[in-house]
Amino acid sequence: MEYILALTHVDDTGAALTRASLEVVTAAIDLANQLEASLTIGIVGVDATSAANFLASTGARLLVVSGEPFAQPRYATDAAACEALCRAACATIVIAPASARFARVAAGVAHRLDGYIDTHIAAVVAADTIEATRWFYRQRIEAVLTRDARPWFLLLDAGTHAAFSGHSASTQIEEVAVHLPTLRTTVTGLREPRHDQQTIRPDAKLLLVAGAGWTKKQPDGQTHATEAGDLILGFLHATGASLGSSKSLVDQGGDGNSVLPFLTHLNQIGQTGATPRHAKGLSTCCHGEEPHVVGWRFVADRRAISLDPNCGWTRGKADVVYVADAFQVMSKVNALLEANDA
């Protein structure tokens, strides 16, 4: 008999679960239904009551660890909270989000419970035994993992499941007491990069890809890198989209060409780059060659703006291709977004 625990935490507001936590809830409900096993959901947060009420319709046992020590992520307090929740749930399978907060403590908690952990899990299903799926080698090899050892911790990658959606209702919540060790770390606050400095946003619905065309000579014989940068950042600012790039564009920095200063190799999408999981993607000034487009594997709704009617996107790799000048299209799009905002 398996005892499944969805281990979750609240978001920055403190009142709701993070999206990744809600995805974990979906995965845990599915697994519990397949196994006809009991489901417990554990929540860590300064005050987890409203987050727990949102889960009323799951019918799961709801355990919470709350209080001021759990307001901020910190190894000692989070590890103690997760350990207490796992013990209270007698969990044999623990599914947790691969968030910065839990990725840091999950392996330590598994060790404290004499358990095992696997990370970057994309799916969990019950066949003859429980099978967890993950990708290796930049999404080229898909592995199916099974383990007899328990408890088995599975860190679920974000964007792999639908977020659980329920209706808030008052429900029974069990508060779990935590024995805290002596705390040596004081969290004094959070420092985040400015909104326009942080261009990689894994939770964004939309991916904007910039290709090398942005910094190439345009029909007037000149390059327009500054204008390109303004158009791209303007779009990101207005939409909250995440910024991806082709390899050619991020490589240009090393070639001494004009560059977009906010791009690094971390933005690169493709065979030797990232494979993000945004719902929609818009490619601009990029040719859509296979080594780039393999990075769009999980982006289902694709559009591209390219001057070249024979580019890769027009050959079945995008749903809609605008054969047009991206400088003109994006400046019009940004103007419309601005007008909409006003």
Q: Could you tell me which residues come within 8 angstroms of residue 168 by beta carbon, excluding any fewer than 6 positions away?
A: 50, 53, 54, 56
CB of 313 to ligand FAD, least distance (A): 9
Nearer to ligand FAD, 226 or 272 (CB): 272
**Is 319 among the residues that bind ligand FAD (CB under 6 A)?**
no
**Bridge pairing between strands 93-97 and 3-9:** parallel
Which of 63, 327, 333, 334: binder of ligand FAD (CB under 6 A)?
Answer: 327
**Is 276 among the residues that bind ligand FAD (CB under 6 A)?**
no
**Is 285 among the residues that bind ligand FAD (CB under 6 A)?**
yes
Task: Take residue 49 and report the two structure tokens written for it.
Answer: 């009551």
**Is 215 among the residues that bind ligand FAD (CB under 6 A)?**
no
Given the rule CB under 6 A, which of 11-19, 166-174, 265-273, 333-341 is the region that contacts ligand FAD? 265-273
Secondary structure class of 97 (helix, strand, coil) = strand
244-253 b/e with 16+ CB inside 10 Å = b? Answer: bbbbbbbebe
CA distance linking residue 231 with residue 241, whole number of Å:
13
CB of 294 to ligand FAD, least distance (A): 8
Nearer to ligand FAD, 87 or 217 (CB): 217
Report the DSSP beta bridge partners of residue 176.
none
Nearer to ligand FAD, 9 or 287 (CB): 287
**Is 332 among the residues that bind ligand FAD (CB under 6 A)?**
no
CA distance linking residue 193 with residue 197, whole number of Å:
6
Given the rule CB under 6 A, which of 6-14, 33-41, 111-119, 286-294 is the region that contacts ligand FAD? 286-294
Which of 134, 292, 302, 317: binder of ligand FAD (CB under 6 A)?
Answer: 292
**Is 212 among the residues that bind ligand FAD (CB under 6 A)?**
yes
Which residue carries 């991020």 as its tokens? 250
**Is 308 among the residues that bind ligand FAD (CB under 6 A)?**
yes
Kind and range of the H or E element at 309? none
Angle, in degrees to the nearest 10, between helices 75-89 and 100-112:
60
Annotate 214-246 with DSSP letters as a single string. Answer: GGS--TTS---HHHHHHHHHHHHHHH--EEEE-
**Is 326 among the residues that bind ligand FAD (CB under 6 A)?**
yes
Given the rule CB under 6 A, which of 43-51, 62-70, 96-104, 244-252 is the region that contacts ligand FAD? 244-252
**Is 281 among the residues that bind ligand FAD (CB under 6 A)?**
no
Q: Could you tell me which residues come within 8 angstroms of residue 146 by beta carbon, excluding any fewer than 6 positions away?
A: 129, 130, 131, 132
Which of 43, 86, 106, 249: binder of ligand FAD (CB under 6 A)?
Answer: 249
CB of 221 to ligand FAD, least distance (A): 13
Nearer to ligand FAD, 115 or 213 (CB): 213
**Is 229 among the residues that bind ligand FAD (CB under 6 A)?**
no
**Is 213 among the residues that bind ligand FAD (CB under 6 A)?**
yes
Q: Residues 157, 159, 165, 170: what is their CA dihedral angle, to the nearest 10 degrees?
A: 30
Q: For residue 241, which of 208, 265, 263, 273 has the smallest C-alpha distance?
A: 208
CB of 71 to ligand FAD, least distance (A): 40
Q: For the chain, what is the largest distance between any 2 Cα atoms, rounded to a whole number of angstroms?
A: 71
CA distance linking residue 251 with residue 237, whole number of Å:
24
Given the rule CB under 6 A, which of 18-26, 229-237, 246-254, 331-339 is the region that contacts ligand FAD? 246-254
Residues engaged in binding ligand FAD (CB under 6 A): 211-213, 216, 218, 246-249, 268-273, 285-287, 289, 291-292, 295, 305-308, 311, 325-327
